[in-house]
Structure 1
Amino acid sequence: MSTTPAPPPDRAAGAAGAPSAGPVRERGDACPGALRLHAADDGALARIRLPGGLLTARQARLLADLAETPGDGHLDLTSRGNVQLRGLPAGCGGPLAERLRLRGLLPSERHDRIRNVAASPLCGLDGFSPDLDGFSPDSASGVEGAPADVQAWARELDGLLCSDDAPADLTRLSGRFLFGLDDGRGDIVALRPDVTLIASGAGRALLCFGTTGPGLRVPAADAPRAAVLAAAEFLAAREASGSGAWRVRELPAGQRPAAGRLAERLTAAGIASAVLPAPRIPLGGPAVPGLVTGPDGTCSLSVTAPLGRLTAAQWRLVVRMAVKEGNQTIRVTPWRGLVVPGFPAEEAPGLLADLAGAGFVTSAESAWHRAGACAGRPGCAKSLADVRADAAACLASGQAAGAAALPVYWSGCERRCGHPGGGPWVDVLATGEGYRVTVRDEDGGRQDAGPRTVPAAGLAGAVAAARTTT
């Protein structure tokens, strides 16, 4: 595994050089959940959280049922590997929650919105193994252990988050607080989680706040418990600062949770740890569409949803494949895709072709690869355009295809709901008179990549030029 420099340090809230306690907010975040629905112009919206993106076939079948009734017939995949249902009627929350609860998709009503856990979706499927203690420049035990199963971490962490025995009232976390479980390839690191676990060899893991050092080396077996203690330390740091911060990076640098304080918490909980002042943190790319060959000879199918949206019929096709030829599980990725494991190698190419024929993105060479859009009109009252229709027309031209093209995201207003994490990425923002096309970097800065405002009819060329910016 190649190790690249970590993303730049997260910027503190407030003006540069000005003392700040971070953002002051009079209310909590408005992130929807399975219980607290969001009222949109096209009906209510429910967000079903899937820690690690993990679904059984039975759970996935239920989501298709709910998408059709009472939903609008579609499932939206989010940038954190969750699923959203739209077009829900008023008053459906109780029956919806009960059906989710029966399938294990709502294990705790109190903790629903804090179950934000992203995990490397290809873990265990492609033979990847992290460098032996690759996160520490001066450590090597000489004993290589089996790669950590971050999906198992996700299941354990979810149980801990929902427990009433947690070390702090974790329901005080924002619905935007993100736990990231990276198997060492750096794909989840690129999402810039708030608490990050990175697997290594020799049965160890790196725990850090955000995606920079210092970090703590902890036993892999204790990693989920250590992540919960890190969240408790964030809450303590936030309270001490008097801040209303929702994310770690919103706390001023001098008031962010410290590795030393966290080490003390871990010791008190019986978890051994060692501080790594300057860990080497991997930074990789997302799972790409196509066939994924495993070390046991079986294949997984990796696909993405065009603009992050699938019909219930498309979703059901995947579920049928998972049941009939696969291992009856589905993994939803933070890049608005699906990974379906367990297919015989001789059958996998034909099944991938079937998914392509059904409208899925199955190749990284497609212009639709890493392209997304918010709901736009008519579903969102704040949107200044029908961004999905304009994005589809732009992408249908086929320009800016290729695996090296930058991610692109269409937004109907300045809120940019659902935009990609990290960077760089192409920001296509509706202005009411057309679109402004810019390239954003990891820190949210931007660089103009064309005319200030581009009409929808001339958007394909401007977007293509921006996506090939180096």
Structure 2
Amino acid sequence: MTRGVPDSCPGALRLHEAADGPLARIRVPGGRLDSAQLQALAESARDLADGNIELTSRGNVQLRQVRDAAELTDRLAAVGLLPSRTHERVRNIIASPLSGRVGGLSDVRALVPALDAGLLAAPRLADLPGRVLFTLDDGRGDVSGLGADIGVHAICAEEFALLLAGRDSGVRLPAADTVDVMLAAAHGFLELRGEDAGRWRLDDIEQGADRVVDLLGLSPVADRLELPGARSLPIGWLEQDDGLVSLGAGVRLGCLPARTAEFLAAVERSIFVTPWRGLVVTDLEEWAAEQVVRVLAPMGLIFDADSPWLLVSACAGQPGCAKSHTDVRADVSDAVDTGRVLPAAYPIEHGADDRHSEPEDSAHQHVSERPPIAATDISVAGRQHWSGCDRRCGRPRGEVTDIVATDKGYRID
């Protein structure tokens, strides 16, 4: 598959001209932010952007309505968030957020900086599209289902499966070889991609995964791992293996206010941005964890795993996106606030979702023929993604009900 156009994924230096102003996306390998970095992001959001830090589905962050790109660049570089001007868009690395602290088969924490350093050290890898994704799963299966172009999944403490194009390639690696092989696979992707800038992902190349294995000169095994689908979010009180506590926090629609981020930075612990648009605050004494919850829950962070906010996601919508038909974030927020986002097991017997139990003889009806639904009439159970148009940007993987805006109202797919 080729799209015919180069990848235009934004970065910290190449901003995206969104409908509401310039958008900067800052890569955060492994999702890890130290307190100085989080403080710098909070101040940049407040001083130079719209006052919020948006969390992305790759564990990165972005700022909207950036008013001074040069000043933002200087601030990011000063705290180590912009270690390279040539490679900054290709540092898309997701790692198991709880690795080395809570469970897992192998500690992948050291692999993150090693992989990042390897990417930065290879001039050729600056040509990777900004959409290429690397994952490091410690064996619990939390990030291997995210469709990485190149990833590893721990089978035991010292052995990993190589994932290519979102699937187990059959290649097995000793832990010490994982980073080198992942970097070699990235070079292989570029070799297969050639001059076709429209191939953004490894699965855009016919038999791309198998061809990368051939280039690596490695022999796959016959048995392949079945990678897990959607996983439970790390939310609430998480006891670490060393007796300390991590706190998993949900963030409403992935939008973290600068003021809340400043309070988090004041905790002075490593904080991980998760690919589920949440946060994990690590290495806390019990008394400190209690204080964090006491202060930050009233500020909007979600420590309750049953919160309906954890069931919803949304694209940017209006006014941030010119293609959106409506302000979907306002609509989904109203649905949560008015109790119309229901638990997954809730039997829906009213409202717009009655049509999900329509007779079999009408099941073939094309979605465009269904009557539009007003936002205030929508009541949906379980995981759901609200989109301002048919592109469905930001849609999470797994089973999700799609609530899609049209020029006349919403439809539910």
TM-score using structure 2 length: 0.86
Contact 2:139–2:156 at 8 Å: present in 1 too?
Answer: no
1:75 Cα shift?
0.8
Question: RMSD over aligned Cα, in angstroms?
Answer: 2.0
More deviation, 149-158/29-38: 149-158
Aligned match of 2:225: 280
Contact 1:213–1:277 at 8 Å: present in 2 too?
Answer: no
Q: Secondary structure at the match of 1:69?
A: helix
Contact 1:216–1:259 at 8 Å: present in 2 too?
Answer: no
- Letter paired with 2:228: L
Residues 243 and 350 of structure 1: is their aligned pair in 2 closer, same or farther, counting only changes over 3 Å? closer
Aligned match of 2:403: 428
1:181 Cα shift?
0.9
In the TM superposition, 1:69-468 aligns within 5 A as 69-89=47-67, 92-126=68-102, 128-130=103-105, 147=106, 149-164=107-122, 169-239=124-194, 244-253=198-207, 255-258=208-211, 260-264=213-217, 275-283=220-228, 285-321=231-267, 323=268, 328-402=269-343, 406-420=382-396, 422-438=397-413
Larger helix proportion, structure 1 or 2? 2
Alignment partners' CA distance in 1, 2:233 and 2:205: 31
1:414 Cα shift?
2.0
How many residue pairs were aligned? 377
Residues 238 and 406 of structure 1: is their aligned pair in 2 closer, same or farther, counting only changes over 3 Å? farther
Aligned match of 1:8: none
Residues 42 and 369 of structure 1: is their aligned pair in 2 closer, same or farther, counting only changes over 3 Å? same
Residues 433 and 336 of structure 1: is their aligned pair in 2 closer, same or farther, counting only changes over 3 Å? same
Q: Secondary structure at the match of 1:231?
A: helix
Alignment partners' CA distance in 2, 1:259 and 1:391: 42
1:340 Cα shift?
0.5
Q: Secondary structure at the match of 1:372?
A: strand
Q: Deviations over 1:381-421 (max 9, x none)?
A: 2211011110100111334444776432211122222221x
Alignment partners' CA distance in 2, 1:243 and 1:62: 34
- Letter paired with 1:359: G
Contact 1:386–1:412 at 8 Å: present in 2 too?
Answer: yes
Alignment partners' CA distance in 2, 1:259 and 1:108: 27
Q: Secondary structure at the match of 2:168?
A: coil
- Letter paired with 1:152: A
TM-score using structure 1 length: 0.76
Alignment partners' CA distance in 2, 1:125 and 1:398: 36
Q: Deviations over 1:423-444 (max 9, x none)?
A: 1112111102211112xxxxxx
- Letter paired with 2:321: C
Alignment partners' CA distance in 1, 2:166 and 2:49: 37
Contact 1:32–1:38 at 8 Å: present in 2 too?
Answer: yes
- Letter paired with 1:251: I
Residues 364 and 246 of structure 1: is their aligned pair in 2 closer, same or farther, counting only changes over 3 Å? same
Aligned residue among 8, 14, 17 for 1:36: 14
* Unmatched tracts of structure 2, length 5 or more: 346-380
Q: Secondary structure at the match of 1:423?
A: coil
Alignment partners' CA distance in 1, 2:411 and 2:337: 20
* Unmatched tracts of structure 1, length 5 or more: 1-21, 131-146, 265-272, 439-470
Alignment partners' CA distance in 2, 1:213 and 1:190: 10
Contact 2:389–2:406 at 8 Å: present in 1 too?
Answer: yes
Q: Deviations over 1:310-360 (max 9, x none)?
A: 111111121122x2xxxx211000000010101112442442243221111
Contact 2:184–2:216 at 8 Å: present in 1 too?
Answer: no
Q: Deviations over 1:92-115 (max 9, x none)?
A: 222211221121101111111111
Alignment partners' CA distance in 2, 1:50 and 1:156: 14
Residues 219 and 356 of structure 1: is their aligned pair in 2 closer, same or farther, counting only changes over 3 Å? same
Q: Deviations over 1:208-240 (max 9, x none)?
A: 212323321112122112111111112222239
Contact 2:27–2:61 at 8 Å: present in 1 too?
Answer: yes
- Letter paired with 2:202: V
Alignment partners' CA distance in 2, 1:201 and 1:42: 47
- Letter paired with 2:335: C
Aligned match of 1:15: none
Alignment partners' CA distance in 1, 2:237 and 2:342: 19
Identity, % of aligned pairs?
41
Q: Secondary structure at the match of 1:62?
A: helix
1:263 Cα shift?
3.5
